[in-house]
């Protein structure tokens, strides 16, 4: 049975006191302290319910906890309890609704005694109800009733936590449109119901605070900023206002959804989040200082003073929709003023309007009409949009054709607001959800009703059927103690278990001992418990472990949401350039403790265990493969064998279908990682399999053989050479006393598996990385090779293994596999020598070529490399000889930098760094004197190669620039996600012509300057060919079903 209330939670000061800055101990009044989770129901050890969000205490008390000498004073409003809602967003985008009552409660005697807090002191405490149902009024009424019951002089008929337990455990979630639930809190009757699902989304809030805080023009400006996914910061001194306005504006953009960071009430210590470069909607208390933040481009909405300010212009809503929207809102808010010239008697009344009484207070009818006004706005703005959705699985939308149609209808050029809105994540998400054909899509229904001349309100479901009444009664009310009453002078604690009580006593005893040892008892002294040491040094091992556990949980929650969104990316989105991929990669790379890598692998494991079929698209396959490679490499450098082991197993599960419809697994692409050549890893993995095996009663030899087959399967899946794999299998088997029969079965299995793999995929080319810098030494000793050994035949079965297996001579068994990497006493032989030259290669059998490699890694970027240009000796138009910079590399990255490299200068390869872009670099080209680069910031920059000065900034694209090409005659050819290919004259900084147009984002171009033939293709899966000199399209090549890149 689904329940309305997930948790009842109490937050405040716990036995471990720490300031917001991390200093331990009590530092007097006027200092803010970190809140802790004190009590909850269901209890934390309940197996059926997941724990509440770990960030809950910080969010429900955003300012922190403060100590006060007095408690509640009826003459001082600042001491009164406060009731406010907050909304939390989980990693998968789902919302958690929390109602809070914050008040001053006496400090527990044991805490006050341990920390030497003055007697009769009070501290902030907050009680919360957590639910998945957006019934703000119900949550508030229930919580305030519980608070009143606690401090009522009449008391309650049963212990307060028994009342809470009955309510949380027994009140069911109502079925939308079918029933109404009645229940009581002591003697107060409460009810809850949910509207039918085929109407507007359920929200139990009033939109009145939104229209009272902002006038009509500012309301439309905020609405536009949300629609265009700007960075939005709401300011107010009232917590409730921040949450209610945030929720209201999110519901006004229906049927679209806010896709980015959403924190209606930001905790004060998180003010630095405001400088985040990605879109967000946050609410912040007005008293928090933001003067030290850049705030560039942030839309600041001051709800107290009706102000909307931003450093970047918000494009206006186009006409005629703007006038219509403004007029409808004015008619709703000020009916007497708008209709002052109209005759009475209803001659001009419209059947489309719900009845509004000018003297009627704001109610649910007003909320419904306001939401319907904005829905009609979208119906007009996107009139006929369904005709431009291509009939494909990806629901691709033809932006350019829709804008052209709208321009012809309005006799106006495409409006900037429309262009930006059609490229927004919200609009793309709407298309991907298949809203264009959904039966319950109110936008489509409204457009159809308007087209048929029907009353628009007819699309809403009727409520003629009375819902079924479900009554939840508490049979124990009034029975316990034969009329006994329970009264409290503070909010009571729930009954603690013995281990919880013991832990609390230990913490407070440790605090008391610190006071005794220091001999200082001044409560206001900041050094009472903490000196000048850093925050990390002041933490005890237990506290550090708790802090790390919280950090781990936070990262894993974020990774879980990012992973699920990465899998949900549509066919029109490139995972490698997505926000989700970049964030996961950053979490893996930037985390020194490996939480990001291990958390990412764990996310995949949990998803597989939940029933995921593990099949990936081509684009997802590439992204996941690269993320796993990075996670394994980082784990190898930390000797994190557990993460490597888990990554090995999940890589054997995830696959794509190749051109012949055969499953191609990610594991095959991880063979280049050096960890797989290490015997130590496979021995540890085998031990892990043995420990994990539940077949303890089985024959030991059979159990060992079964686990070795698992190991051999992974080796074959990776594509390890047959001799290397068999040596490691043989070594492990020999240590576990496997008999000859099992040896033969293992050899046969491995040979058969290897032959199957080679038959399909061919022989894998392995170029392993050096492991000397990754924490695990190479198993090959300096003298491991036997130069006199004859070459092994290419059959894959070999002969030496048979001789060695049945030989009693251990030396011959060792020599028979001397070509394979082994653990030697001198592990340093695998590393480069002190001079930096590559290590000496082991002699190979005769008849095989000795491959020498000289690989260097050029480091300098702080983000992923997204563009690379190699300067060749000459281009077609270079008639004066070879270029002086032949062999140079020019790279671009997510760090917004362009770097020029000269590989011929060992140790000083970096020649120059070019700064100017504000977003990821996507394309680079060059000629003898100039470098040109394109970026996601929609600009093309031209640089002088010698002086590294910025020469020109070419602006004209309305989307991310994906391709650039430097041509002769100071010309540049560019393509972008706006579907256009443009020719530029660098000398005049102008666009000469738009030489090509595609129906979707252009991802690749080719151009023959001698003939003027241009080819371009991209997300529309069409290859277009133009003769730009003749100004005509030559061919339109169809046949691909996915992006052309």
Tens of pLDDT, residue by residue over 574-604, are: 788 787 888 888 888 766 567 788 888 888 8
Question: 914 and 820: one domain?
Answer: no
Annotate 589-617 with three-state secondary structure.
Answer: HHCCCCHHHHHHHHHHHHHHHCCCCCECC
Per-residue pLDDT band at 477 (split at 50, 70, 90): low
Tell me what pLDDT residue 314 has.
Answer: 92
Tell me what pLDDT residue 390 has.
Answer: 73
Residue 54 belongs to some domain of the structure? yes
The four Cα atoms 286, 287, 290, 291 give a dihedral, to 10 degrees, of 120
Is the pLDDT assigned to residue 816 strictly greater than 60? no
Contact 138, 148 (CB under 8 A): no
Tell me what pLDDT residue 719 has.
Answer: 82
pLDDT in tens, 321-362: 999 999 999 999 888 887 777 776 554 444 444 444 455 788
Q: What is the pTM of this model?
A: 0.54
Tell me what pLDDT residue 760 has.
Answer: 59
Tell me what pLDDT residue 223 has.
Answer: 95
Question: 905 and 925: one domain?
Answer: yes
Paired with 973 in beta bridges are 965, 983
Question: 723 and 837: one domain?
Answer: yes
Question: 839 and 922: one domain?
Answer: no
Tell me what pLDDT residue 780 has.
Answer: 34
The dihedrals phi and psi of 134, each to the nearest 5 degrees, come to -80, 50
User: What is the mean predicted confidence (pLDDT) over 767-777?
Assistant: 35
The residue among 855, 882, 901 that closes a domain is: 855
Give residues with Cβ within 8 angstroms of 560, minimum separation 6: 91, 92, 603, 606
Strand, coil or helix: what is 910?
Answer: strand
When divided into structural domains, the chain yields a total of: 4
pLDDT in tens, 893-903: 988 999 998 88
Residue 23 belongs to some domain of the structure? yes
Question: 817 and 924: one domain?
Answer: no
Nearest to 668 by CA among 625, 639, 697: 625
Tell me what pLDDT residue 992 has.
Answer: 83
Contact 72, 103 (CB under 8 A): yes
pLDDT in tens, 831-872: 333 333 333 334 334 343 333 345 677 888 888 888 998 876
Give residues with Cβ within 8 angstroms of 965, minimum separation 6: 925, 972, 973, 974, 1005, 1007
Residue 56 belongs to some domain of the structure? yes
CA distance 363 to 450: 26
Tell me what pLDDT residue 834 has.
Answer: 37
* DSSP state letter for 1014: E
Residue with tokens 């989700």: 580
996 vs 555, 973, 977, CA distance in Å?
Answer: 45, 11, 13
The dihedrals phi and psi of 59, each to the nearest 5 degrees, come to -80, -35
pLDDT in tens, 212-241: 999 999 999 999 999 999 999 999 999 999
Tell me what pLDDT residue 47 has.
Answer: 62
Contact 647, 605 (CB under 8 A): no
Is the pLDDT assigned to residue 301 strictly greater than 80? yes
Q: Which of the pair, 904 or 150, is modelled with greater confidence?
A: 150
Is the pLDDT assigned to residue 697 strictly greater than 60? no
Is the pLDDT assigned to residue 923 strictly greater than 50? yes
Question: 762 and 783: one domain?
Answer: yes
Give residues with Cβ within 8 angstroms of 837, minimum separation 6: none
Tell me what pLDDT residue 884 has.
Answer: 56
Is the pLDDT assigned to residue 676 strictly greater than 50? yes
CA distance 71 to 79: 7
CA distance 372 to 446: 10
CA distance 808 to 297: 78
Tell me what pLDDT residue 593 has.
Answer: 67
What is the end-to-end Cα distance of the chain in Å, rounded?
Answer: 50
The residue among 822, 855, 888 that closes a domain is: 855
- When the pLDDT of each residue in the chain is averaged and rounded to a whole number, the result is 78
Tell me what pLDDT residue 33 has.
Answer: 92
CA distance 842 to 787: 9
Q: Which helix (H) or strand (E) holds 753?
A: helix 740-761
pLDDT in tens, 871-893: 764 443 333 344 555 668 899 99
Residue 524 belongs to some domain of the structure? no
Residue 975 belongs to some domain of the structure? yes
93 vs 89, 258, 558, 561, CA distance in Å?
Answer: 6, 10, 10, 7
Tell me what pLDDT residue 209 has.
Answer: 93
Half-sphere exposure in the Cβ direction for 978 (13 Å, CA): 23
Paired with 341 in beta bridges are none
The dihedrals phi and psi of 255, each to the nearest 5 degrees, come to -90, 15
Question: 687 and 804: one domain?
Answer: yes
Tell me what pLDDT residue 894 has.
Answer: 87
Strands 663-665 and 865-870: unpaired
Tell me what pLDDT residue 302 has.
Answer: 95
Tell me what pLDDT residue 800 has.
Answer: 32
Is the pLDDT assigned to residue 10 strictly greater than 90? yes
Is the pLDDT assigned to residue 81 strictly greater than 90? yes
Look up residue 356 and give its two tokens: 């509004």
User: Concatenated DSSP letters for 691-721?
Assistant: HH---TTS-HHHHHHHHHHHHHHHHHHHT--
Q: Which of the pair, 653 or 482, is modelled with greater confidence?
A: 653
Per-residue pLDDT band at 542 (split at 50, 70, 90): low
Is the pLDDT assigned to residue 784 strictly greater than 90? no
Is the pLDDT assigned to residue 450 strictly greater than 70? yes
pLDDT in tens, 549-560: 667 777 777 787
User: Concatenated DSSP letters for 660-677?
Assistant: TS-EEEGGGGGTTSGGGG
The four Cα atoms 617, 620, 626, 628 give a dihedral, to 10 degrees, of -90
CA distance 34 to 12: 8
Nearest to 675 by CA among 628, 735, 708: 628
Tell me what pLDDT residue 546 has.
Answer: 63
Tell me what pLDDT residue 791 has.
Answer: 33
CA–CA–CA angle 1038, 1040, 1045 (5° rounding): 110
Tell me what pLDDT residue 353 has.
Answer: 47
Is the pLDDT assigned to residue 795 strictly greater than 70? no
Q: Which residues of 954-990 are buried (b: 16+ CB within 10 A; e: fewer)?
A: bebbbbbbbbbbbbeeeebbbbbbbbbbbbbbbeeee
Per-residue pLDDT band at 252 (split at 50, 70, 90): very high
User: Concatenated DSSP letters for 828-896?
Assistant: GGGS--TT-PPPPPPPPPTTSPPP----------SS-EEEEEE--S--TT--S-S-TTTT-EEEEETTS
The residue among 132, 165, 199 that closes a domain is: 132
Residue 937 belongs to some domain of the structure? yes
Per-residue pLDDT band at 730 (split at 50, 70, 90): confident
Percent of the chain with pLDDT over 70: 79
CATH number for the domain that contains residue 271 = 3.40.50.11500
Question: 847 and 869: one domain?
Answer: no
Which range (77-86, 305-314, 364-373, 757-766) has the least confidence? Answer: 757-766
Question: 752 and 835: one domain?
Answer: yes
Per-residue pLDDT band at 83 (split at 50, 70, 90): very high
Question: 843 and 870: one domain?
Answer: no
Is the pLDDT assigned to residue 532 strictly greater than 80? no
Which range (163-177, 212-226, 558-572, 786-800) has the least confidence? Answer: 786-800
CA distance 427 to 759: 47
Is the pLDDT assigned to residue 447 strictly greater than 80? yes
Contact 136, 85 (CB under 8 A): yes
CA distance 126 to 135: 19
Q: Which of the pair, 815 or 148, is modelled with greater confidence?
A: 148
Residue 455 belongs to some domain of the structure? no
pLDDT in tens, 493-521: 888 778 778 888 888 888 777 776 655 44
Contact 718, 711 (CB under 8 A): no
CATH number for the domain that contains residue 1016 = 2.130.10.10
> Within 10 Å of residue 7's Cβ, how many Cβ atoms?
21
Angle between helices 595-609 and 641-651 (to 10 degrees): 40
Tell me what pLDDT residue 543 has.
Answer: 60
Percent of the chain with pLDDT over 90: 23
CA–CA–CA angle 69, 72, 76 (5° rounding): 95
What range defines the domain where residue 283 resides?
213-341+351-367
Residue 639 belongs to some domain of the structure? no
User: What is the mean predicted confidence (pLDDT) over 191-197?
Assistant: 83
Tell me what pLDDT residue 615 has.
Answer: 85
User: What is the mean predicted confidence (pLDDT) over 263-270?
Assistant: 86
34 vs 14, 41, 130, 676, CA distance in Å?
Answer: 9, 22, 21, 46
Tell me what pLDDT residue 432 has.
Answer: 79
Question: 809 and 903: one domain?
Answer: no
User: What is the mean predicted confidence (pLDDT) over 252-258?
Assistant: 91
Contact 230, 299 (CB under 8 A): yes
Look up residue 480 and give its two tokens: 């316990």
pLDDT in tens, 276-292: 778 899 999 998 888 88
85 vs 146, 242, 362, 577, CA distance in Å?
Answer: 16, 9, 21, 36
User: What is the mean predicted confidence (pLDDT) over 201-207?
Assistant: 87
Paired with 41 in beta bridges are 8
Question: 783 and 879: one domain?
Answer: no
> Within 10 Å of residue 484's Cβ, how many Cβ atoms?
12
């Amino acid at each position: 049975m689904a329940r309305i209330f997930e948790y009842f939670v109490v937050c405040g000061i716990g036995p471990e006191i720490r300031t917001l800055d991390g200093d331990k101990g009590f530092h007097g009044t006027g200092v803010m302290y970190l809140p802790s989770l004190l009590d909850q129901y269901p209890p934390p050890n309940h197996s059926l319910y997941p724990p509440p969000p770990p960030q809950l205490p910080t969010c429900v008390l955003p300012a922190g906890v403060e100590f006060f000498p007095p408690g509640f004073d009826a003459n001082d409003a600042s001491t009164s309890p406060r009731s406010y809602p907050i909304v939390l967003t989980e990693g998968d985008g789902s919302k958690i609704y929390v109602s809070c009552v914050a008040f001053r409660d006496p400090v527990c005697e044991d805490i006050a005694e341990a920390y030497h807090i003055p007697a009769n002191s009070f501290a902030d405490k907050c009680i919360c109800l957590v639910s998945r149902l957006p019934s703000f009024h119900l949550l508030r009424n229930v919580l305030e009733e519980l608070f009143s019951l606690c401090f009522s002089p009449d008391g309650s008929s049963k212990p307060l936590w028994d009342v809470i337990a009955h309510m949380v455990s027994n009140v069911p979630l109502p079925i939308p449109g079918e029933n109404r639930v009645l229940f009581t809190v002591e003697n107060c009757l409460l009810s809850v119901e949910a509207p039918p699902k085929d109407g507007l989304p359920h929200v139990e809030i009033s939109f009145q605070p939104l229209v009272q805080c902002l006038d009509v023009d500012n309301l439309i400006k905020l609405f536009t900023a949300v629609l265009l996914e700007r960075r939005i910061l709401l300011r107010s001194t009232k917590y409730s206002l921040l949450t209610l306005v945030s929720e209201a504006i999110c519901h006004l953009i229906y049927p679209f959804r806010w896709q980015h960071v959403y924190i209606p009430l930001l905790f004060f210590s998180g003010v630095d989040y405001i400088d985040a470069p990605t879109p967000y909607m946050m609410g912040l208390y007005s008293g928090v200082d933001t003067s030290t933040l850049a705030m560039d481009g942030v839309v600041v909405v001051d709800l107290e003073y009706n102000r909307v300010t931003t450093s970047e212009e918000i494009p206006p809503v186009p006409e005629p929709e703007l006038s219509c929207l403004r007029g409808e809102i004015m008619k709703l808010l000020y009916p007497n003023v708008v209709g002052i010239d109209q005759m009475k008697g209803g001659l001009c009344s419209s059947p489309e309007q719900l009845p509004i009484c000018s003297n009627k207070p704001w109610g649910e009818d007003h909320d419904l009409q306001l939401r319907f006004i904005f829905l009609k706005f979208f119906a007009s703005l996107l009139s006929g949009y369904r005709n431009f959705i291509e009939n494909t699985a990806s629901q691709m939308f033809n932006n350019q054709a829709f804008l052209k149609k709208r321009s012809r209808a309005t006799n106006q050029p495409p409006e900037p607001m429309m262009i930006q809105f059609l490229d927004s994540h919200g609009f793309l998400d709407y298309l991907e959800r298949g809203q264009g054909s959904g039966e319950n899509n109110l936008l489509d229904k409204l457009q159809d009703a308007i087209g048929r001349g029907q009353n628009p309100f007819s699309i809403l479901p009727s409520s003629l059927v009375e819902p079924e009444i479900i009554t939840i009664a508490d049979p124990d009310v009034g029975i316990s103690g034969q009329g006994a009453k329970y009264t409290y002078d503070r909010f009571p604690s729930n009954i603690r278990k013995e281990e919880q009580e013991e832990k609390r006593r230990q913490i407070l005893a440790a605090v008391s001992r610190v006071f005794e040892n220091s001999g200082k008892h001044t409560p206001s002294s900041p050094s009472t418990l903490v000196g000048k040491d850093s925050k990390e040094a002041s933490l005890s091992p237990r506290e550090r472990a708790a802090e790390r556990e919280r950090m781990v949980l936070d990262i894993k929650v974020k990774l879980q949401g990012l992973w699920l969104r990465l899998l949900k990316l549509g066919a029109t989105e490139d995972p490698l350039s997505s926000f989700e991929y970049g964030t996961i990669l950053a979490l893996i790379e930037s985390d020194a403790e490996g939480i990001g890598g291990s958390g990412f692998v764990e996310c995949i494991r949990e998803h597989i265990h939940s029933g995921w079929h593990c099949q990936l698209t081509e684009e997802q396959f590439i992204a996941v493969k690269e993320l796993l490679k990075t996670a394994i490499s980082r784990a190898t450098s930390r000797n994190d064998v557990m993460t490597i082991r888990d990554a090995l197993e999940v890589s054997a599960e995830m696959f794509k279908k190749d051109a012949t419809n055969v499953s191609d697994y990610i594991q095959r692409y991880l063979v280049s990682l050096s960890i797989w050549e290490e015997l130590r890893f496979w021995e540890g993995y085998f031990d892990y399999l043995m420990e994990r095996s539940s077949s303890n009663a089985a024959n030991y030899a059979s159990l060992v053989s079964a686990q070795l087959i698992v190991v051999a399967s992974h080796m074959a899946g990776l594509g390890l050479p047959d001799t290397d794999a068999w040596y490691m299998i043989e070594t492990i088997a020999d240590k576990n006393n496997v008999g000859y029969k099992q040896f033969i079965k293992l050899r046969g299995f491995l040979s058969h598996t290897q032959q199957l793999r080679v038959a399909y995929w061919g022989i894998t080319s392995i170029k392993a990385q050096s492991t000397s810098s990754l924490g695990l030494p190479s198993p090959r000793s300096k003298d491991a090779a036997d130069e006199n050994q004859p070459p092994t035949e290419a059959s894959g079965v070999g002969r030496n293994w048979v001789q060695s297996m049945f030989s009693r001579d251990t030396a011959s068994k060792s020599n028979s596999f001397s070509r394979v990497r082994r653990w030697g006493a001198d592990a340093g032989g695998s590393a480069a020598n002190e001079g930096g030259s590559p290590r000496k290669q082991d002699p190979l059998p005769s008849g095989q070529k000795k491959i020498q490699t000289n690989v260097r890694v050029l480091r300098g970027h702080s983000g992923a490399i997204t563009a690379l240009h190699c300067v060749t000796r000459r281009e077609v138009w270079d008639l004066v000889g070879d270029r002086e910079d032949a062999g140079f590399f020019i790279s671009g990255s997510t760090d917004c930098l362009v770097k020029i490299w000269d590989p011929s200068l060992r140790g000083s390869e970096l020649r120059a760094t070019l700064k100017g872009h504000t977003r990821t670099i996507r394309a680079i080209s060059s000629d003898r004197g100039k470098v040109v680069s394109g970026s996601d910031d929609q600009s093309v920059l031209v640089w002088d190669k010698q002086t590294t000065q910025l020469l020109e900034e070419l602006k004209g694209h309305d989307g991310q620039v994906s391709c650039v090409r430097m041509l002769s005659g100071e010309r540049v050819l560019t393509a972008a996600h706006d579907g256009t290919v443009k020719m530029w004259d660098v000398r005049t900084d102008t666009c000469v012509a738009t030489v090509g147009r595609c129906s979707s984002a252009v991802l690749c171009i080719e151009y023959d300057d001698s003939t003027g033939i241009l080819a371009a293709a991209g997300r529309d899966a069409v290859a277009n060919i133009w003769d730009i000199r003749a100004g005509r399209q030559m061919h339109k090549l169809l046949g691909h079903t996915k992006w052309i890149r």
